[in-house]
C-alpha cells in the first residue's frame, strides 16, 4: 500500500513569540525526500525516512497550516495530515502536570493526568509528543483519565492552559512527564 506520513510538533503546543519548535515528518520509506509546505507554498526539502524542520525565533508569520509531501523521483507518494501551528504571546503562568498512580504502570492499568493551572477560568490541553491531536482536559478539575493503558500510551506528556474568554490567552507549556507502560 501507499506509505503514510505522520507529522507533529516537537515539543508540542502553542509556541511563544520568539520561541522555537521543530516540525517532524516521519515515513516508513527511506529512499525519497520530504517537502514541507505551508499552505500551498513549498518551504524546504529533506531526504530520508524522517525530516525535522526547525522554526526558531518564532513570529506570527510562522503561524499557519503545514503539511509534508513524500516524494520519490519527483512523484508524490504520500501527503501528511495538516498541522496547525500557533505562535502567541504566552501570558499565563506555567501549569504543573502530575500523573497518578505514577510514571511507571503495567499494561491495563488506569492512569490519571492532572494539569494544575494557577488561573481559575481556564481550559487545558494534554499533549503526547508524536501525536498530532491534543486531548482536551475536563474543565472542572483539569484531569484526564486514561483507562486500560497500552504500550502505545507510553511517551512524553505535557499540558498547556488557556483562558476561556473572548481574547484567549495561553500559558507556557508545563513540565514534561515520561509515562512508561510495562
- Helix, strand or coil, per DSSP, at residue 151: helix
Confidence of residue 140 (pLDDT cuts 50, 70, 90): low
- Gap between the Cα atoms of 43 and 99, Å rounded: 39
C-alpha cell at 146: 486514561
Residue ranges covered by each domain of the chain: 5-88, 90-181
Q: What is the pLDDT of residue 139?
A: 66
* Same fold? 5-88, 90-181: yes
Q: In Å, what is the CA distance from 58 to each residue of 18, 21, 113, 150?
A: 5, 8, 29, 36
- Helix, strand or coil, per DSSP, at residue 171: strand
Q: Which CATH class is domain 5-88?
A: mainly beta
Which CATH architecture is the domain 90-181 placed in?
Sandwich (2.60)
What does the pLDDT look like over 157-171, one tens digit per residue? Answer: 999 999 988 788 999
Residue 55: which of 11, 97, 91, 89 has the closest Cα? 11
Q: What is the pLDDT of residue 86?
A: 96
Mean pLDDT of the chain: 93
Q: What is the pLDDT of residue 154?
A: 97
Contact predicate 127/159, CB 8 Å: yes
Contact predicate 13/94, CB 8 Å: no
Q: What is the pLDDT of residue 165?
A: 80
Q: What is the pLDDT of residue 122?
A: 86
Q: What is the pLDDT of residue 5?
A: 93
Answer whether residue 120 shows pLDDT above 90: no
CB-facing half-sphere around the CA of 159: CA atoms within 13 A:
27
Confidence of residue 93 (pLDDT cuts 50, 70, 90): very high
Q: Cell 515515513 sits at which residue?
A: 27
Average pLDDT over residues 87-98: 95
pTM for the predicted model, two decimal places: 0.91
Amino acid at each position: 500500500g501507499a506509505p503514510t506520513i505522520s507529522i507533529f510538533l516537537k515539543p508540542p503546543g502553542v509556541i511563544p513569540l520568539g520561541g522555537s519548535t521543530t516540525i517532524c515528518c516521519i515515513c516508513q520509506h527511506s529512499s525519497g525526500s520530504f517537502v514541507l509546505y505551508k499552505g500551498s507554498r513549498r518551504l524546504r526539502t529533506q531526504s530520508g525516512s524522517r525530516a525535522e524542520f526547525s522554526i526558531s525565533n518564532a513570529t506570527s508569520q510562522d503561524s499557519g497550516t503545514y503539511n509534508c509531501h513524500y516524494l520519490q523521483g519527483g512523484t508524490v507518494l504520500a501527503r501528511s495530515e495538516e498541522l496547525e501551528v500557533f505562535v502567541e504571546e504566552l501570558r499565563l503562568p506555567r501549569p504543573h502536570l502530575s500523573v497518578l498512580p505514577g510514571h511507571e504502570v503495567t499494561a491495563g492499568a488506569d492512569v490519571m493526568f492532572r494539569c494544575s493551572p494557577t488561573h481559575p477560568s481556564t481550559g487545558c490541553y494534554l499533549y503526547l509528543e508524536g501525536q498530532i491531536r491534543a486531548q482536551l482536559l475536563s474543565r472542572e478539575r483539569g484531569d484526564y483519565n486514561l483507562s486500560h493503558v497500552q504500550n502505545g500510551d507510553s511517551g512524553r506528556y505535557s499540558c498547556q492552559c488557556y483562558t476561556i474568554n473572548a481574547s484567549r490567552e495561553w500559558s507556557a507549556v508545563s513540565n514534561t512527564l515520561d509515562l512508561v507502560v510495562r
